Chain A
Amino acid sequence: DGGITQSPKYLFRKEGQNVTLSCEQNLNHDAMYWYRQDPGQGLRLIYYSQIVNDFQKGDIAEGYSVSREKKESFPLTVTSAQKNPTAFYLCASSRGQERADTQYFGPGTRLTVL
């Protein structure tokens, strides 16, 4: 059963702590993306990776970091430097390296900072 998995579904963090969100895909897609969604708002791109061992900043990369050591995995770390991290985080992948390819989204992780 192919798809994208994200874990955990809900995550609570204390202020000042780093936290890592998992994203795994078995679609054999080259490109992967991380988006942030705030209530009533659209999707804002945090980071994207078009190929293993390479990634680029999106529109709101400050306070976040990523790695792409394997094609299947694209974990996102929300650092303590992110001033307002409470949000819904969506991981996506696409077949090719064109960012306009159809994007397949994971179920998301809802992060709450206490």
Chain B
Amino acid sequence: GQQVMQIPQYQHVQEGEDFTTYCNSSTTLSNIQWYKQRPGGHPVFLIQLVKSGEVKKQKRLTFQFGEAKKNSSLHITATQTTDVGTYFCAGRSDKLIFGTGTRLQVFP
């Protein structure tokens, strides 16, 4: 069945360092979504990517969708303590499957 894996599971960075999380699907995706969950909170939608090779930016966040539409990445430039949380990708082929998430901790 369809599987969506994310790496790394955890990432600890010093404030100001960059951070990247990777999402890989076992099947070709029609689109991919990214969500952020703050500690103790609920997932909040960040963005959706649809086209092969698509790149979208939101301030310090850069989202990419792979050419083969089977992988995606989220890169945060110069992390801040407000970036702390778990980042989930959710890929859709015949159904929407959430990845396992990457928990980001930022030390001041």
Contact = CB atoms under 8 A, between A and B. Distances in A.
B78 to A, nearest CB: 27
A78 interface: no
Contacts of B6: 42
Contacts of A44: 98
Given A99-B96, A100-B92, A102-B48, A40 B103 contact: yes
Interface residues of A, number: 16
* Listed residue (B31, B42, B95) with the most chain A CB atoms within 10 angstroms of its CB: B42
* Listed residue (B31, B48, B90, B98) with the most chain A CB atoms within 10 angstroms of its CB: B98
B41 A107 contact: yes
Given A99-B95, A102-B33, A107 B100 contact: no
A65 B42 CA distance: 22
Nearest to B6: A42
A104 B45 contact: yes
B43 A105 contact: yes
B9 interface: yes
Contact of A100 (B31, B99, B100): B31
B88 interface: yes
9 contacts: A42-B88, A42-B98, A42-B99, A42-B100, A100-B31, A103-B45, A103-B90, A105-B43, A105-B44
Interface of A: 35, 40-44, 90, 99-100, 102-108
